[in-house]
Amino acid sequence: MIKEILKYNDIFVSNGSYKSFASNKYPQKRLAILTCMDTRLVELLPAALGIHNGDVKLIKNAGGIILDPFDNTIRSLLIAVLELGVEEIMVIGHTDCGAAVISPETIIAHLIQRGIDRETVRGLKEDGLDFEAWFKGFENTEAAVEKSVSLLKNHPLMPANVEIQGFVMDITCGRLDSVS
Ligand SMILES: [Zn+2]
């Protein structure tokens, strides 16, 4: 697939197809969105929100959640706020999320199946890697979004005038429901 993509990319560039995407690094809408890496959101989310190239900082991970107050997601949001002019943040979870149903036990079983040594897993656990926290799913998407929103609102490095709101998107139709 990467080979095919590289071929497509050559044509895209040589055709000048990039010209309609011209923009800069400062988000026109002064908005950052944290959401899930779900494949169904790749085009649905921007379309359902009416956002285009240059409009927003879009940060994605599995579940669209924040695991730890000093993780890479928070870092990205702080850079967006402090360096790139973001004034509002939307945290958007979604229905039928694949990251909600993961479990540390299953992930570890899959690691072993894929040839990772049990000793490696055990060693990392002993060194302090918390598999339970790292690969924990969530039963309630609204609660997971609320938790991330609360973590952001109460973050010691987040300026108080940043507007932060949480939502769940219905993956079947793109409707946003407010959760906070
Ligand atoms: Zn998801």
Query: Model confidence over 36-82: pLDDT tens digits?
Result: 999 999 999 999 999 999 999 999 999 999 999 999 999 999 999 99
Do residues 163 and 113 share a domain?
no
Q: What's the confidence (pLDDT) of residue 116?
A: 96
Do residues 143 and 170 share a domain?
yes
Q: What is the pLDDT of residues 11-23, one digit of tens each?
A: 999 999 999 999 9
Do residues 116 and 180 share a domain?
no
Distance 95 CA to ligand 1 centre (A): 8
How far apart are the C-alpha atoms of 87 and 73, rounded to whole Å? 17
Distance 52 CA to ligand 1 centre (A): 21
Helices first, then strands: H and E counts in the chain: 7, 5
Do residues 112 and 84 share a domain?
no
Domain annotation covers residue 91: yes
Distance 126 CA to ligand 1 centre (A): 30
Q: What is the pLDDT of residues 124-170, one digit of tens each?
A: 999 999 999 999 998 899 999 999 999 999 999 999 999 999 999 99
Domain annotation covers residue 18: no
Domain annotation covers residue 14: no
Confidence of residue 180 (pLDDT cuts 50, 70, 90): low
Distance 107 CA to ligand 1 centre (A): 16
How far apart are the C-alpha atoms of 86 and 118, rounded to whole Å? 44
Do residues 28 and 116 share a domain?
no
Number of separate domains in the chain:
2
Do residues 44 and 75 share a domain?
yes
Do residues 178 and 129 share a domain?
no
Distance 174 CA to ligand 1 centre (A): 13
How far apart are the C-alpha atoms of 91 and 60, rounded to whole Å? 10
Neighbouring CB atoms inside 10 A of 151's CB total: 20
Q: What's the confidence (pLDDT) of residue 139?
A: 86
Positive or negative torsion for Cα 26, 32, 36, 39: negative
Do residues 45 and 121 share a domain?
no
Distance 101 CA to ligand 1 centre (A): 10
* Domain, as residue range, for 161: 24-100+137-180
Distance 60 CA to ligand 1 centre (A): 10
Domain annotation covers residue 42: yes
Do residues 28 and 117 share a domain?
no
Instruction: Please state the rounded mean pLDDT for residues 91-120.
Output: 95
**Residues with C-beta atoms within 5 A of ion ligand 1:** 36, 38, 97, 99
Do residues 67 and 128 share a domain?
no
Domain annotation covers residue 112: yes
Domain annotation covers residue 175: yes
Terminal Cα distance for the chain, rounded: 40
Q: What's the confidence (pLDDT) of residue 175?
A: 98
Do residues 180 and 158 share a domain?
yes
Distance 136 CA to ligand 1 centre (A): 13
Distance 59 CA to ligand 1 centre (A): 13
